[in-house]
Structures are given as structure tokens and as C-alpha cells.
Amino acid sequence: MRGIITAFLPAAALWLWSRSGAGVESVYAAHIYPAVGGALQAATGPLPFSLFEVLVISGVVLLLVLGHRSVRRRKKLSFLRGVLIAAGWIVSFFLLAWGMNYGRDPLKVQQGWDRDPAIRGPISRGEIRALASRLCLNARYAYEDLPPEIASDAGSTMPYDRHELARIIDRGYRTLDWLAYAPARDWESPSPKPVQVLFFPFSAAGMFSPWTSEAQYDAGLPDASLPFTVAHELAHARGFAREDEANLVGFAAAVNAGDPYARYGALRSGCSYANNALAKFDRPMSRGLRQLLPEGLRADQRAINAHWDKKPELSMAVSDKTYDAYLKSQGVEDGRQSYGRVVKLLVWLDRAGEITLDVSR
Ligand SMILES: [Zn+2]
């Protein structure tokens, strides 16, 4: 019993600390996370494959082998004890290496948006309409600006590899002068890694692994998904744990990176989020905006939908529920719904004067 308690003790202490909020921003996020996450990143970054994927698959195999042997040798209890001890250390390390970031001040507090009368306050339908129009029109312009060798009516192709994509997104992060959290801006990201099999049954496009500090994406994702997915995972790597916040800073980094394909990828995702929010109260306008999108962009969208349609429905539903429960356990009250809250943050960022999208074409 003592071994189990010892393994969960650091987890309990860190979880309580992250919930208390005291010093999480000034001590954990400013010093501990950059040190621990940075060291892990330096160790795993050079590996050409996802160490996380290898660890998970070997962990499952080990669990099955040891479980089977414990049944044969009638040592089920000591097996169970071993599993609990391992689980305790896994959770403890998760919180130390990254998970405490869920206890950071929300982005709106870090930025002072919640104290600024010109920024805080409810969002009107008119603002959602305006945001969706600007994002979708700019997604269209961004597509039309891509050179014909990478974008046709049949869809688009990313003109560089994942290493170059990481460098581009990093460049974008460095332009975000408005971002109050300083370690996030000059963070040197390792290249994101394609995950070959692990994601197949799950509803994840990407994932940041806190234990190995690796940003990963589903190897089967269509190119058009990559800039935004990778920028989002690199936001997690920079200590933004919450999904809406990772969406917002990832979007801003990719749009501002000075690269046409990254800009297109981010605007396509931004348009899709804002248009989904619009569709909740104005379906005709939402449909109208979708019809404005160029044929090639719609082909990209169809390829992305087809990617999701290939996945087994049952395992998607199970992974959705599990991820929802996980987010709620980390204090994200609306769980998976929280991704969509990026629309509210986008309006606030716009009110703060940090979104410059021209529609006068
Ligand atoms: Zn995420």
C-alpha cells in the first residue's frame, strides 16, 4: 500500500497546487515548465520517430504479457499493485512535466482583456457575422494567392516538410508581440512528428505528449490540416494547455508567419470555426459564406472530412468521451466543447486590435 501512496503523493500535491492557482503562473509556467519541458524536448527532439507512440505501444504489450503471467501464476494482486504504482508515477510526471499548465491564469487574465472595458463584455451576433465573413473571405484570398503548382481546383499540397513547417510556425510565434507570456515567444520548437498507427482509432488530429515533450500529428492527415494542427500542438508545447487558447495562439502564429501556405491553413480553420458558430443562429448566411469558398479549398475540406469518415465510429465516440472526461478532470468545465470557444477569443483579440484582415479586395 505504501508504494501506491508514494507514487500518487506527488500527483496529489501538484494537482492541489495547480487548482490553488497561487504561483502557477509566476513559478511553474515561468521557470519550472520551461526547464523541464525544454530538457525533455532537447532529449526527444532529434529522434526521427514519436517516442511517445513507441512507449504507448510497448506499454500496452507489457501490460498484456505481465497480466497474463500474473493470472497463470495466481499473483493477480501483486500485478494490480504494480499497475497502480506505475499509474501514480505516470500521473505525477504528467503534472510536473506539463499538466500544471492547466492551472495557469486564463489567457484573458494574462492579457488583461478581462479588465479592459473596451475588450471584455458579451459578444453580439453582429460580431460573429463580421468575424466569420472576414475569416472566410480571407481564407478565399489566401487560397487564390497560392501558386498554381501547389493549389488547383483539386485541392492543395504543402510545399515543404514538417521540419520547415515547424520553423515557419516558430517564426510566427516570434511575431506575436502582444502575447504577455514571454517564454512562449522565443521557444525553439522541435519538429512535430507524424504518428503512424496510434491515432487511427481516435478522434485526435494531433497530440502533445507531456511525458516526452513531443508535438505529434496523425500521419494520415491531409496537407491542408497540417499548418493549423501543428501550430496548435506547438502552442501546447509552449505551455498553453487549454484547447481554445492553443487554437487562438496557434491561429495567430500561423497567420503571421509570413508564409502563404501556413496563412491559408490557419484561415481555413478559422473560417470553419467561426462559420460553425454562425450556423447556430444564421444558417442561410453560414451557407452563403461556404459558397464563396473556392473550389480547391472545398476539395481540401472534402479530403479532411473523408479522413475522419474512415475512422471507426465506436472508437471515435469512446475517445471523444474519454478526452472530454480528461479535460474536465483538469478543470476545463466544458470539456471538448472548449475548442469552439476560440471564436470568443478571436473576437476579443480583434477588439484588442490584433487581427488585421483586409476584406477590401
Ligand atoms: Zn490540443
In angstroms, the CA 334 to CA 8 distance is 26
In angstroms, the CA 67 to CA 81 distance is 12
In angstroms, the CA 240 to CA 81 distance is 34
End-to-end, the C-alpha distance of the chain in Å comes to 69
| CA neighbor of 224 nearest in space, from 176, 258, 272 | 272
In which residue are the cell numbers 493549389 written?
A: 151
Query: Quick one: pLDDT at residue 84?
Result: 93
Contact by Cβ (8 Å): 300, 156: yes
Query: Quick one: pLDDT at residue 325?
Result: 86
Q: What confidence tens digit (pLDDT) does each residue in 230-270 have?
A: 999 999 999 999 999 999 999 999 999 999 999 999 999 99
CA of 190 to the centre of ligand 1 (A): 17
Query: Quick one: pLDDT at residue 294?
Result: 97
* pLDDT, average across residues 275-304: 96
* pLDDT, average across residues 158-167: 96
Average pLDDT, the chain: 92
CA of 242 to the centre of ligand 1 (A): 7
Lowest mean pLDDT among 198-202, 242-246, 278-282, 299-303: 198-202
Instruction: Indicate if the pLDDT at residue 153 is higher than 90.
Output: yes
Instruction: Indicate if the pLDDT at residue 224 is higher than 70.
Output: yes
* pLDDT, average across residues 91-112: 94
Contacts of 174 (CB under 8 A, 6+ apart): 185, 186
Instruction: Indicate if the pLDDT at residue 361 is higher than 90.
Output: no
In which residue are the cell numbers 480528461 written?
A: 326
Surrounding residues of ion ligand 1, Cβ less than 5 A: 243, 246
CA of 326 to the centre of ligand 1 (A): 12
Instruction: Indicate if the pLDDT at residue 210 is higher than 90.
Output: yes
Query: Quick one: pLDDT at residue 359?
Result: 65
CA of 259 to the centre of ligand 1 (A): 23
* pLDDT, average across residues 208-231: 95
CA of 231 to the centre of ligand 1 (A): 10
Contact by Cβ (8 Å): 135, 248: no
In angstroms, the CA 327 to CA 339 distance is 11
Lowest mean pLDDT among 246-255, 292-301, 316-325: 316-325
Helix/strand/coil (H/E/C) assignment for every residue in 115-149: HCCCCCCCCCHHHHHHHHHHHHHHHHHHHHHCCCC
CA of 323 to the centre of ligand 1 (A): 10
Say what percent of the chain tops pLDDT 90. 74
Query: Quick one: pLDDT at residue 295?
Result: 97
Query: Quick one: pLDDT at residue 221?
Result: 93
Q: What confidence tens digit (pLDDT) does each residue in 168-208 have?
A: 999 999 999 999 998 888 888 889 999 988 877 777 889 99
In angstroms, the CA 257 to CA 175 distance is 7
Distance of CA 108 to CAs 75, 98, 296, 326, 342, Å? 52, 20, 36, 23, 12
